[in-house]
Amino acid sequence: MNDIPRLLVVQRRSMTDGRMTSRTIGARFAPLLSYMQRHGLIEWELISEEDIGISHLRRFDAVLFNKHVSSQSLKVMRMANELKVHTIYDLDDWLLDLPSWSVLEMNEDVLYNVLAMIREASVATASNSLLQERMQRVRHSEVLIIPNGFDEEAFDLSPSLWAEKKPQKVMFSNLDGIKLVKFRKPFFAALSEFLTDNEGLSIDFWGDPFPELHSIPKITHRGNRENIEYKRTIRDEGYLFAIVPLGAEEDPDTLFFNSCKSPIKYVDYGSLGIPGIYSDCPTYRQTVQHGVTGYLASNEKPRWRAAFDTMLHDPALRHEIRANAYADVLDRFSAQHICATLQKALPKPTSSNS
C-alpha cells in the first residue's frame, strides 16, 4: 500500500429508479473525497458494481459501499475480502425497517445481502448514532460515525454572495418520496394557502415529482441536477428561505426510519446562506437551534403556517439565521473537520520503502 490510500467507490443503481445510478453516493461521499484528494490525502475512483472484477480490485487499497443491497455488490465485497483489500460498508438509512412510502422491496435476498455486508466488511460506517447502534448490534463490533458534510472549497461560499432577489421565492427540495404520512395533507394545505395569500411570492421545487406537485399554486418544478451544479444554482437564486418537512412523532411507524435521516439539507442550506424551516423531529431537533440556526416547526398545520408567515415577514430573523447557520455548519460539517473520521475507516498506510 502506498502512503496515499487508493479508494474504489462502488457505484450502484438507484433504489428508486433502476434506470439511473445512485445520487446518494455522490451527495454523501463526493464532497468529502474530492476535498481529501485535493489535499493529497486520498486517491479515489468511482466504478459501477457490474463492471468490477479482480483486476480492478487489485489496483486499490480499499473499497467503499454505500447502501448496497444487490447480490453483485456482496460478490464484489467477498472478492475484495479474499484479495485482502480493505472493505467499508456505509449506511445513511436503516434499510432493514423501511417505511410505507418506500419504493424498495426488502425481500429475503436483499435482507440477506445487507446483513452479510454489514457483518463481513472490514469496517462499517454510519451517518449518525442511531444507525451506529443498530449496525453494531449486527456486527458485534465498533461502527464509525461519518456525518454528511460539504466541501467548503468546491466553489465560492462567501457570505458576500448572499442576496435575496425579487420577485420573492422560497424553495423546497426532495428525493425519493415525501417523507410524511399523517401530516402530509395538512402540510400541503398550509403551503398552498400561504402561497395563495401572498400574491408576489412563488416556490421552486427541486427533485423527484410527487402526486401533489401540480396542485400547489405558483410552483415551478426545477427537476434534478448534478450535486455541485444544483448547489451553485440555488446559491444564486436569492431564495428567502427553504422548507424541510420530515415525519416526526405523529408517524410512529416511520419515526425510527426518519430519525436515522441525515440533516444534510441543513448542512447544504446553511453552507449556502439559505435559512430554513425544518420539522421539529429528532433529526433536526438535535441539529438546529430554533430561532438561531433555523426555524423548527412541529408537524401541525397552524405551526407550519406560523413559520411561513414569520420567516416571510421578518428579514432580520432570516439574516440572523443565515449567519448563524453558516458559522455552525462550517464548524461542524465541513470536509476539513470530517475527513479525519474517514481516515480512521481506511487501512493504515505503509511506507513504500518498507
Mean pLDDT, residues 187-197 taken together? 98
Residue-wise pLDDT tens digits, 133-145: 999 999 999 999 9
Question: Residue 71: what pLDDT?
Answer: 94
- Which of 107-111, 200-204, 318-322 comes out lowest in average pLDDT? 107-111
Query: What cell numbers appear for 241 in the block?
Result: 428561505
Question: Residue 17: what pLDDT?
Answer: 62
CATH homologous superfamily of 159-332: Glycogen Phosphorylase B; (3.40.50.2000)
Question: Residue 100: what pLDDT?
Answer: 56
Question: Residue 269: what pLDDT?
Answer: 98
Residue-wise pLDDT tens digits, 77-111: 999 999 999 999 999 988 887 665 555 566 788 88
Domain extents in the chain = 6-146, 159-332
Mean pLDDT of the chain: 92
Question: Residue 54: what pLDDT?
Answer: 96
Confidence of residue 353 (pLDDT cuts 50, 70, 90): very low
Q: Which residues contact 123 (CB under 8 A, 6 or more apart)?
A: 86, 87, 88, 89, 144, 345
Task: Please state, for a pLDDT cut of 90, what percent of the chain lies above it.
Answer: 83
- Which of 108-112, 200-204, 288-292 comes out lowest in average pLDDT? 108-112
CATH number of the structural domain 6-146? 3.40.50
Question: Residue 38: what pLDDT?
Answer: 96
Mean pLDDT, residues 266-275 taken together? 97
Whole-prediction pTM value? 0.91
Domains 6-146 and 159-332 share a fold: yes
- Which of 223-237, 274-288, 293-307 comes out lowest in average pLDDT? 223-237
Three-state secondary structure readout of the chain: CCCCCEEEEEECECCCCCCCECCHHHHHHHHHHHHHHHCCCCEEEEEEHHHCCHHHHCCCCEEEEECCCCHHHHHHHHHHHHCCCEEEEEECCCCCCCCCCCCCCCCHHHHHHHHHHHHHCCEEEECCHHHHHHHHHHHCCCCEECCCCECCCCCCCCHHHCCCCCCCEEEEEECCCCCCCCCHHHHHHHHHHHHHHCCCCEEEEEECCCCCHHHCCCEEEEECCCHHHHHHHHHHCCCCCEEECCCCCCCCCCHHHHHCCCCHHHHHHHHHCCCEEEECCHHHHCCCCECCCEEEECCCHHHHHHHHHHHHHCHHHHHHHHHHHHHHHHHHCEHHHHHHHHHHHCCCCCCCCC
Q: Given its phi and psi angles, is residue 177 left (phi above 0), alpha (psi -120 to 50 degrees) or beta?
A: left
Confidence of residue 270 (pLDDT cuts 50, 70, 90): very high
Question: Residue 352: what pLDDT?
Answer: 45
Question: Residue 168: what pLDDT?
Answer: 97
Confidence of residue 227 (pLDDT cuts 50, 70, 90): confident
Task: Please state, for a pLDDT cut of 70, what percent of the chain lies above it.
Answer: 94
Confidence of residue 14 (pLDDT cuts 50, 70, 90): confident
Question: Residue 264: what pLDDT?
Answer: 93
Q: Is 354 a residue whose pLDDT tops 50?
A: no
Question: Residue 25: what pLDDT?
Answer: 85
Question: Residue 13: what pLDDT?
Answer: 83
Residue-wise pLDDT tens digits, 156-188: 999 999 999 999 999 999 987 899 999 999 999
